[in-house]
Amino acid sequence: MRYILIASLILLCSAFTNAQVHIKNQHYVQVNAGGYDKLIHPDFDNFFLQVEYGKYSKRLNTRGFAFLYAKKLSGNLIPVEKYQASFKQELNIFSSADLRSTFKVLGTIDFGYESINRDKEYSGPNYVSSKSAFILGLGTGAEYEFSPIVIGTRVTYNFLSNYQKFTTYPYIGLKFHLK
């Protein structure tokens, strides 16, 4: 995990030299990584990866789609995995004069599949439902971007989850403008 973090820091430092501005009708791809309900020290037992595609509108608001994979171990070491797609809307609250720095709030509609213990039966003193399910939810969050680096957090409410109704995803990401 340390090697991944060191490589990420090197990549982020090199990205500062290629800062990008936000332009109306511009498309972008954003890659996020962080913890799944874990703010400090995400690891290979507790992480998520997300890829987003979107487009800026007139006021630098964006709409887009995202695909997420998340994995975590429950308190009694049962693996929980999520495969999720989202429709995302971001509202620009603040942007700098040079359009390289922005602060946004966002909302999402999420749907996907939640796998609990890879669909194998489980029983024990701390019972967790072993029934995997499709999930549907709503999310909100905030992002600060100093182009191309993005720091943010998201909270989702999963209506149909058999494991956990609320999830939190703190993350750091890179945004690449395509035009």
What does the alpha-carbon distance between residue 148 and residue 48 come to, in Å, rounded to a whole number? 20
What does the alpha-carbon distance between residue 103 and residue 178 come to, in Å, rounded to a whole number? 20
Residue 111: both structure tokens together: 């749907």
> What mean pLDDT comes out for the span 58-73?
89
Find the farthest-apart pair of alpha carbons in the chain and give their distance in angstroms, rounded: 58
Which pLDDT band, with edges at 50, 70 and 90, does 7 fall under? low
Range in 5-9, 10-14, 67-71, 84-88 the model is least confident about: 10-14
Among residues of the chain, what percentage have pLDDT more than 70?
Answer: 74
Is residue 62 over pLDDT 60? yes
Is residue 88 within 8 A of residue 66, CB to CB? The reply is yes
SS3 11: helix
For residue range 111-141, list pLDDT tens digits in order: 988 887 766 665 555 555 566 778 899 999 9
Type of residue at 147: S
Is residue 95 within 8 A of residue 68, CB to CB? The reply is no
Q: What is the pLDDT of residue 97?
A: 76
Q: Which CATH number fits domain 24-177: 2.60.40.1120, 2.40.160.20, 3.30.9.10, 3.20.20.80?
A: 2.40.160.20
Structural domain spans, the chain: 24-177
